[in-house]
Amino acid sequence: AQSVTQLDSHVSVSEGTPVLLRCNYSSSYSPSLFWYVQHPNKGLQLLLKYTSAATLVKGINGFEAEFKKSETSFHLTKPSAHMSDAAEYFCVVRPNQAGTALIFGKGTTLSVSS
């Protein structure tokens, strides 16, 4: 079965410091992987996606993620956090061989302090 595990339920950083949100996936096939962000009382916004092209994927707002097959990881990083980055982040997998549903991780809450 396909799944994603977000290793941290809550990450706290100071403004201007790097961000690392960790995600491991499990998939029998070559998956599509995504990071979505959800600000309080808002919808889900796509940050970036991996679909078997370049392993280093650049997204919006300075975020990027690296697909590492050997480690089954897809960690999200940003060099310098901004106050506006405070939100809930979801790592998501879509198993290409098994329907259309996205499978979400449990989410990581990112807090940014000044």
Partner 1 sequence: AAGVIQSPRHLIKEKRETATLKCYPIPRHDTVYWYQQGPGQDPQFLISFYEKMQSDKGSIPDRFSAQQFSDYHSELNMSSLELGDSALYFCASSPVGRGYTDTQYFGPGTRLTVL
The CA-atom distances, in angstroms, between 75 and each of 8, 48, 51, 60, 99 are: 11, 12, 15, 15, 24
Shortest Cβ distance from residue 34 to partner 1 (Å)? 7
For residue 9, which of 114, 112, 111 has the smallest C-alpha distance?
111
34: contact with partner 1 by CB under 8 A: yes
Least separation, in Å, of the C-beta of 15 and partner 1? 26
Q: How far is the CB of 49 from partner 1 (least distance, A)?
A: 6
Closest among 13, 2, 1 to 108, alpha carbons compared: 13
C-alpha torsion angle, residues 36, 38, 43, 49 (rounded to 10) = -10
Q: Measured from the CB atom, is 9 or 70 closer to partner 1?
A: 9
Stretches 10-18, 20-28, 72-80, 99-107: which one binds partner 1 (CB under 8 A)?
Answer: 99-107
Contact between 36 and partner 1 (CB under 8 A)? yes
Contact footprint for partner 1 (CB under 8 A): 32, 34, 36, 42-46, 49, 51, 90, 94, 96, 99-107
